[in-house]
A = this chain, B = another copy of it.
Amino acid sequence: MPPKQPAVPSVWTRPRKEREQPALSRGRIVTEAVRLLDADGIDALSMRSLGTRLGAGATSLYRHVASKDELIELAVDEVFGELEVPAEAGPDDWRAALAATAGSLRAMVLRHPWFASVVGQVGLAFLGPNMMRMSDRVLGILGAAGFDVTEADRAMKALVAYVLGMATSEAAWLNVLAQSGQDEGELLRALMPAAEQAVRDHPHLRAFYAAVPRQEAQSDLARRRDEDFDYGLQRLLDGLRHRLA
């Protein structure tokens, strides 16, 4: 047994585990889970690893969280809190407002690459408060643009599906990239021979591969991804505008 604490503990010699508040809480757990996921990816998240990060045992977490699946749902909604959606828009700037929303959503996914690997499991069936807030705003923007209720809902679903689909595949590529430990250009060049081999019997794919420049700086690769994303987004917005006219 260690000796008893002095009656008046100094700031330097206070008990290591200062039990100020309940110490563990849903909020703290979820925040730390997101931190862990961001840093080390989905495979690194285990109840034990998260517990030790919080200075707690693994099973203590279950007092605040029903299961690992629920924890992940909470982490997903936590991340949705970062989303920036214009509070409202008029019939003239709905397009800009939606584009900004889409950009913010994509950036959110790319900031948290693990998001891609769980979005399919948790689906959007789980309706966290943050996600509801953003849905409501997007519906508002579309309503102000002139869409009726059910069409606004469909337009929103389409936008979200496009952005998540696009960002998901980007994030999956970034995950591969991170695990390879290589530079993006290096990795691309390393994969090139296999790709050229596989593409031999596919004329259109081959034509595309032939057209893409062989050596590109990192910034060019990133810009190309931005353009890829923007292209489809603009086509979808064009289609929606055409619907209004």
* Chain A positions near chain B (C-beta within 8 angstroms): 116-125, 127, 129, 132-133, 135-137, 139-140, 143, 149-155, 157-166, 168-169, 171-173, 175-176, 195, 198-199, 202-205, 207-208, 211-212, 227-228, 231-232, 234-240, 242-243
- Do B143 and A204 touch (CB < 8 A)? yes
Interface of A is mostly: helix
For residue A109, which residue of chain B has the nearest CB? B120
B residues in contact with A157, CB < 8 Å: 166, 169, 228, 232
Chain B, residue nearest A234 (CB)? B239
Contact A202 B136 (CB under 8 A): yes
The interface residues of chain B lying within 8 Å CB-to-CB of A127 are: 195, 198
Q: How far is the CB of A113 from chain B (nearest CB, A)?
A: 10
Query: Once bound together, how far apart are the Cα atoms of A150 and B120, in whole Å?
Result: 29
- Max count, chain B CB within 10 A of own CB: residue among A149, A162, A212, A234: A162
- B120 pairs with A205, CB closer than 8 A: no
Are B239 and A207 interface neighbours, CB within 8 A? no
Min Cβ gap A146→B in Å is 14
Checking B117, B129, B166 against A158 with a beta-carbon cut-off of 8 angstroms, the contacting residue is B166
